[in-house]
């Protein structure tokens, strides 16, 4: 374990964590950012048309701008590290990762969410062999092929909008009666000539040889197979909150916070999609990150740290 005790450790480097780091730097805190990756879910997004100041920007481009802004301040960053345990003893909070142990007087949990697995036969067997959880990352590999997107919300629609420009044909497998999501995205998907929407269908299994060559789906009255070479799972997201065992969470395992981003444990704050803030948007996560950093500054000042 490092002997050093930071003012603040920020867990996560998506929109919430990066914005928190910018505000922490401007307040001249002694802090560390620990994250598996840079950009979070923003880096997975396709076309972004609702982030103030940019009429149009891609997810990877916005994530790159976030990163550049963070590193402008010479931020101490530990990348490719996964948070495993978080606990407070006295006035010190300890973070254990897969690589090291750290200590701080305060923490902002901004670890975001991760893709939910389908839990069907063949999913794990064909992961990264035709089955993926990121259209932005892997979509170009499926140029001219038939693919399936599993899901019916904004994440699925975003994946379809990217893939219908690349793939030969896109099947949308949605287990509810109708697709949901932003009206503009929905209209574009419904009007696309190379998209087939299968509402009220669910995936039974993924099959193939060395790589995916099909999925089996079912509706209330039939079962059938679809010949596809790619499967993009967009069935929802779950919070990356398991490491914070003593922090209060709701039934969705989202971290419960108040209006100042405080959790039930003094000194531990949270921001972004890992929390119970009702809307999960890039701009909201960024705003919550700034608010959390300012709350940390006030907490440290009041406690004479």
pLDDT in tens, 92-129: 999 999 999 999 999 999 999 988 899 999 999 999 89
Predicted confidence (pLDDT) per residue in 60-81, tens digit: 888 899 999 999 999 999 999 9
Distance, CA of 74 to CA of 159 (rounded, Å): 34
Mean pLDDT over each residue of the chain, to the nearest integer: 94
Rounded mean pLDDT, 234-247 = 93
Choose the most confident range, by mean pLDDT, from 9-18, 55-64, 233-242.
9-18
Above pLDDT 70, what percent of the chain?
Answer: 99
| Residue 184 main-chain phi, psi, to 5 deg | -65, -45
Q: What is the pLDDT of residue 49?
A: 80
What CATH superfamily is the domain 5-115+237-302?
FAD/NAD(P)-binding domain (3.50.50.60)
Q: Is the pLDDT confidence value at 58 over 70?
A: yes
pLDDT band at 1 (very low <50, low <70, confident <90, very high): low
* CATH number 3.40.80.10 given to 131-233: no
Ranges for all domains in the chain classified under CATH 3.50.50.60: 5-115+237-302, 131-233
194 versus 235: the higher-pLDDT residue is 194
At 56 the pLDDT is: 86
pLDDT of residue 79: 94
Whether 83 shows a pLDDT value over 80: the answer reads yes
230, 238 contact by CB (below 8 A): no
Contacts 24+ apart (CB under 8 A), 265-268: 265/88, 266/299, 267/88, 267/91, 267/93, 267/105, 267/106, 267/107, 267/299, 268/86, 268/88, 268/93, 268/106, 268/107, 268/109, 268/244
pLDDT tens per residue across span 256-288? 999 999 999 999 999 999 999 988 889 999 999
Report the pLDDT averaged over residues 163-187.
Answer: 95
Provide the pLDDT for residue 244: 97
Q: Is the pLDDT of residue 197 over 80?
A: yes
Task: Answer yes or no: is pLDDT of 193 > 90.
Answer: yes
Predicted local confidence at residue 242, as pLDDT: 96
pLDDT at 298: 97
Largest CA distance in the chain: 66
Instruction: Give me the mean pLDDT over the 202-216 stretch.
Output: 96
Check whether 131 has a pLDDT greater than 80: yes
Average pLDDT rounded to a whole number, residues 156-160: 94
């Amino acid at each position: 374990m490092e002997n050093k005790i930071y003012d603040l450790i920020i867990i996560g480097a998506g929109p919430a964590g990066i914005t928190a780091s910018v505000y922490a730097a401007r307040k001249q805190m002694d802090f560390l950012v620990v994250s598996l990756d840079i950009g979070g879910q923003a880096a997975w997004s396709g076309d972004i048309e609702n982030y103030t100041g940019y009429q149009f920007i891609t997810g990877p481009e916005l994530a790159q701008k976030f990163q550049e802004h963070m590193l402008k301040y010479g931020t101490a960053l530990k990348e490719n590290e996964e948070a495993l345990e978080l606990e407070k003893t006295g006035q010190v909070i300890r973070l254990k990762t897969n690589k090291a142990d750290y200590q701080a007087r305060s923490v902002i949990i901004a670890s975001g969410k991760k893709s939910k697995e389908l839990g069907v036969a063949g999913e794990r067997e064909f992961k990264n062999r035709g089955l993926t959880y990121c259209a932005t990352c892997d979509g170009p590999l499926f140029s001219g092929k038939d693919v399936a997107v599993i899901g019916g919300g904004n994440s699925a629609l975003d994946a379809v909008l990217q893939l219908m420009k690349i793939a030969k044909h896109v099947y949308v497998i949605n287990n509810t009666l109708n697709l949901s999501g932003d009206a503009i995205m929905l209209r574009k998907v419904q009007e696309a000539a190379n998209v087939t929407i299968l509402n009220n269908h669910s995936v039974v299994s993924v099959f193939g040889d060395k790589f995916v060559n099909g999925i089996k789906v079912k509706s209330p009255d039939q079962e059938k197979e679809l010949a596809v070479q790619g499967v993009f799972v967009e069935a929802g997201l779950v919070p990356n909150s398991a490491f914070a065992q003593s922090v209060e969470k709701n039934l969705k395992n989202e971290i419960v916070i108040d209006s100042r981003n405080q959790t039930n444990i003094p000194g531990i704050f949270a921001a972004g999609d890992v929390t119970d803030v009702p809307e999960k948007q890039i701009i909201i996560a960024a705003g919550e990150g700034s608010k959390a950093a300012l709350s940390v500054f006030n907490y440290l000042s009041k406690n004479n740290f």
